[in-house]
Structure 1
Amino acid sequence: MNAAGGAASSQHKDLGDIKRLPILITLVIGAFFSILNETLLNIAFVDLVKDLNVSYTTIQWLSTSYMLVVGILIPISALLVQWFTTRQMFLGAMILFTLGTLVCALAPDFSVLLSGRIIQAFGTGLMLPVMMNTILVLYPPEKRGAAMGSIGLVIMFAPAIGPTLSGLILESLDWRWLFYLVFPFGVLSIIIAAIYLKNVSDVTKPKVDILSIILSTIGFGGIVYGFSSAGGENSGWSSPEVYLTLIVGGLALLLFIWRQLISKEPMLNLRAFLSPMFALTTVLIIIVMMAMFSTLMLLPIFLQQGLMFTAFTAGLILLPGGILNGFLSPVTGKLFDKFGPRVLVIPGTAILVVVMWLFTQIDLDTSKGTIILYHCIMMVAISMIMMPAQTNSLNELPRKYYPHGTAILNTLTQVAGAIGVAFFISMMSAGTKDYVIENAEKVDPEKLGALALNAGIHNAFYIGMIFAIVGLVLSFFLKRTKAPEEA
């Protein structure tokens, strides 16, 4: 695509003598704790509001800012991984994350804690693309499924155990220990990486397009912020803060796309979408992520506000599914290497459709065991879809597109997460309000709130089921891809 990239393509590093396993372990350890951090803090919000003397609207910025920074940084990472070596990127990411963790642990007030979270987010935003790009370079296509499955274990298992681990820690210790306990593992990851991590990527140092960086930041940042704000307590789709941010972000994103398409050396090479399976899989993953978020966001709300479980109990109920998904990811990765994507993705999306329908049937009398079973089935379906589909799509790309392909998938996954959170909370709220309006005089006032919430949950799950059905239709068009011949 450009001179530097073409030169790199013909002068790839000789990876024959590099031991892959130590590098994979290094990546997994670093990624586990940075991704764990995304959900570790959410359950501590009640304690933080009291301790730091701020409102819930303010404390939500600890999550919103994290998602915002990661959403902004991932597209830029496609450029960064071509300017810096694997070691520089990974060590830089882990140093930033570990430094941010220390700042959070020692934070005397909310502003310092928020600053620490932003520093952590910079580390995580660099971590995910570096990790996936390294796997693509390090492993041949016929072995990538198993390696990506190991990454899938981290990506799904870490956030799944976050709320449970956080609840366990907070029963005996204060919120600062959520950071004190992560800090030494960050230091350990830096030491292991310094010893074992090797440079495997090609440093081509393409031209830095400042305007593309600005447009990307405003575009992706505006969209993530707008959708995240729409799901807030005091915001809604009619709020100027929401729709103006979305409009500005959308316009900037259109300009960014146009600039990438006309540029000879684009920051984020959207020509990756010319690969049919990459384009199809990107849409499929966004849709599946939306369906998944309808469950990951709504179930904890239903468990705590509908069934009146504690946050720790709710975390325990969701833990088996998260663990099951984590351990199945390497298995589905190996199955993908052997059988290809269709054997996994088509049944996976079919199971997802069924389980989304089952979630529309839950009510205030549903048992813990039933919810655990449904959640486990859903997480099995997700493990059959996500990593096999992602690996298959990336296998189709030429090596010079690896940084761009991983950045595109990670960025759109982040944006889908932000959209999913806001959209399904809005659907739940709309269903809840409609139930109250229609049944306020018919239902016992003491039960009205819980029944209305249950109706709202059903409303959102039906929408999630529709997303899953669309995903099932798309899955029938998947084909096994082969790595293209490099020039």
Structure 2
Amino acid sequence: MSAELSAPASGGRTPTVIRVLVLATFVVILNETIMINAIPRLMEDLHITERAAQWVSTAFMLTMAAVIPTTGWFLQRVSTRRAYTVAMGVFIAGTVLSSVAPSFAVLLLGRIVQAGGTAVMMPLLMTTLMTVVHEHDRGRVMGNVTLAISVAPAMGPVISGLVLQVGSWRWLFWLVLPIAGVITWLGLRQLENVGEPQAGAIDPLSVVLAALGFGGLVFGLSRFTADELAGPALIVAVGAALIAAFVFRQLSLQRSGTPLLDLRVLLAGTYTKALVLMSVAFMAMLGSMILLPLYLQNLRGLSPLATGLLVMPGGLAMGLLGPTVGRLFDRFGGRVLVIPGSIAIAVALAGFTQISLTMPYWQLVGLHVLLMVSLAATFTPVFTLGLGALPMQLYSHGSSMLGTLQQVAAAFGTALVVTVMSARSSDLVAKGTDAITAHLDGMRLAFLVSAVLAIVVIVMAVLLPGRAADHQEVDESDAAAPELVKG
């Protein structure tokens, strides 16, 4: 999907193409977290262990990490309608397969296919938004995108909890299927192509290196526990080596103008700073999203449904505030939102280090809402600033890299807090501390690690400019050049 367009028009309502893509993205992202509460039911119905059942979520994340690096190339080679058709068609096929799965292996395959479609949707939405929406309106429209991508993961466990109260885990797919079908039909009726596809052959070696490198890295990170370090560390090292080979391959291909993932996006200082900020913030956020349910269910005795309802206000607040944050960004720029937002993220995570067995639930909800609202104030400007610092023809590659690092950051953040928590708990139990106190202390330390990570977010927030135009390091000629230039 090339960006050879005239300048997008400013003002007016959100373009129809964006509305359709936001709706579709909401539905597909919802499925990333919708199976979390179904683990016990899957263990019973399919006669599998808990570790095996966790793969319905792990496989989704692994596939996203493996496929997203290829989307920058893909979106430049097909029309908007073709990319949408492929993404939703693959997602629906995976949903059908999962809903009728006679065994766990088939269910896992269905989830992998689902994730393949989901991996295309987010870069497609971001690339199209940056192409058709004028710079002065991007904050407002990006705020609507934030609503979709933040509310969907928060609603997944709540919806699955409600469904599982009255029906089978298969209903989680049967309910999504007609909604996805209607959205696909509406999209094909209303979507118009943006730009013209470019010619260019895909490099098979790059695809293999990206899939094995990023997929292996996320897989290795997902296997870390306090008792199992050597094996996952080896997998992570192999994944990192393959990613290094992938990077060298892309640098070589940039001389011929056909990289799978164009690394010239990193020459834009604003984009790179936004990438670091977003990645570290995602680590902190995903770490807290893992720790809080563990605390509420394992130490406070809440059901999965009650846990989902307790954290739902934070997700809703983050999403509903998105459009307001976007309008403020359009008016005042990013710094007035990102700097206070990053500080508030650190404050909220520091507050979670004080959890106890008697902390009032309203305090927990308040801290979680503060965290989610602060993330909303940060993510919308950061996405807009980062991608806005790139020339139009690099939007798809910039979106692809953002999506890829989100998956890696999510896996790293989860592995980090779980390993810290488990190691601290095991150490205290070995010294004679009772299991509950040890587990609680391990969680406090893990939250402290997340709070320390948030300090990096604050530093990067201070370094970001108010608007992308204030500090753009990659211009049209740089992006079009066959060689990787130095900025």
Normalised to the residue count of structure 2, the TM-score between the two structures is 0.93
Give the whole-Å Cα distance in 1 for the aligned partners of 2:260 and 2:279.
Answer: 22
The alpha carbon displacement at 1:58 in A equals 1.1
Contact 2:390 2:475 in 1 (8 A): no
* Partner amino acid, structure 2, of 1:463: V
Paired amino acid for 2:229? W
Q: Does residue 426 of the first structure (1) align with residue 419 of the second (2)?
A: yes
Q: Separation in 1 of the partners of 2:33 and 2:322?
A: 20
Distance 2:437 2:195 in 1: 55
Number of aligned residues:
469
Distance 2:15 2:252 in 1: 40
Please point out which of 391, 395, 403 is paired with 1:398. 391
Question: 1:486 offset after TM fit, Å?
Answer: 4.4
Once residues 404 and 457 of structure 2 are traced to their aligned partners in structure 1, the CA distance between those partners, rounded to angstroms, is 19
- List aligned pairs for 1:203-222, cutoff 5 A: 203-222=197-216
Match in the other structure for 2:193: 199
- Pick which of 38-47 and 99-108 moved more: 99-108
The structural deviation recorded for 1:14 is: 8.1
Q: Are 1:305 and 2:298 matched, yes or no? A: yes
Q: Distance in 2 between matches of 1:314 and 1:337?
A: 36
Q: 1:255 aligns with which of 220, 231, 245?
A: 245
5 Å-filtered alignment, 1:10-21, equals 11-12=4-5, 21=15
Is 1:49 paired with 2:49? no
Q: Partner residue of 1:238?
A: 230
SS at the partner of 2:162? helix
CA displacement at 1:13 relative to structure 2:
6.3
- Residue matched to 1:386: 379
List aligned pairs for 1:262-277, cutoff 5 A.
Answer: 262-263=252-253, 264=255, 265=257, 266-277=259-270
Contact 1:23 1:196 in 2 (8 A): yes
- Secondary structure (helix, strand or coil) at the match of 2:196 reads coil
Give 1:445's aligned residue. none
Given candidates 443, 451, 459, the residue that maps to 2:437 is: 451
Q: Is residue 294 from structure 1 mapped to residue 284 from structure 2 by the alignment?
A: no
TM-fit CA distance, 1:262: 2.8
Deviations 1:271-311 (A, max 9, x none): 11111111111111111111111210100000000111111
Q: Secondary structure at the match of 1:476?
A: helix
2:480 is matched with none
SS of residue paired to 2:285: helix
2:321 matched to which residue of 1? Answer: 328
Cα distance change on mapping 1:14 and 1:194 into 2, 3 Å:
farther
Question: Is 1:143 matched up with 2:137?
Answer: yes
Write the distance in 2 (CA, Å) between the matches of 1:485 and 1:14.
15
- Alpha-carbon distance, 1:21 to partner: 2.9
Q: Is the 8 A contact 2:421 2:445 kept in 1?
A: yes
Give me the whole-angstrom Cα distance separating, in 2, the residues matched to 1:430 and 1:30. Answer: 41
Once the 2 structures are TM-superposed, how far is the Cα of residue 380 of structure 1 from its aligned partner? 0.6
Tell whether the 8 Å contact from 2:9 to 2:132 is kept in structure 1 after alignment: no
Q: Displacement, 1:107?
A: 1.1
Instruction: Determine if contact 2:14/2:141 at 8 Å carries over to the other structure.
Output: no
The letter of the residue matching 1:322 is G
Equivalent position of 2:485 in the other structure:
none
SS at match of 2:468: coil
| TM-fit CA distance, 1:208 | 1.7
Q: Residue 336 of structure 2 is aligned with which of 336, 343, 346?
A: 343
User: Aligned partner of 1:185: which letter?
Assistant: I
Q: Which residue of 1 aligns with 2:149?
A: 155
How far does residue 449 in structure 1 lie from its aligned partner after superposition? 2.5
Shift of 1:435: 2.0
Show CA shifts across 1:49-78 (max 9, x none): 000001111111111111111101101001
Offset, 1:206: 2.5
The yes-or-no answer on 1:111 pairing with 2:101 is no
Please give the root-mean-square deviation of Cα atoms over the aligned residues, in Å: 1.9
**Residue type of the partner of 1:213?**
V
**Deviations 1:202-229, CA, capped at 9 Å, x for gaps:** 3112332222111111111110111112
Measure the CA separation in 1 of the matches of 2:53 and 2:340.
40
2:455 partner amino acid: I
Uncovered stretches (5+) of structure 1, i.e. residues with no partner: 441-447
Mapped pair 1:121 → 2:108: no
Aligned 8 A contact 1:261 1:271 in 2:
no
| Residue in structure 2 matched with residue 438 of structure 1 by the alignment | 431
SS class of match (2:355) = coil
| Letter aligned with residue 413 of structure 1 | Q
Structure 2's unaligned 5+ residue stretches are: 478-487
Q: Which amino acid aligns with 2:139?
A: G
The equivalent residue for 1:475 is 461
Alignment partner, residue 60 of structure 1: 54
Deviation at 1:438, TM superposition (A): 2.7
Question: 2:463 is paired with a residue of what secondary structure?
Answer: coil
Q: Does 1:82 align with 2:50?
A: no
Tell me the CA shift for residue 19 of structure 1: 8.3
Choose 451-460 or 262-271, whichever is displaced more.
262-271
In 1, the alpha carbon distance for the partners of 2:61 and 2:310 equals 25
What's the CA shift for 1:201?
3.5
The 2-side partners of 1:127 and 1:226 are apart by 25
User: Which residue matches 1:444?
Assistant: none
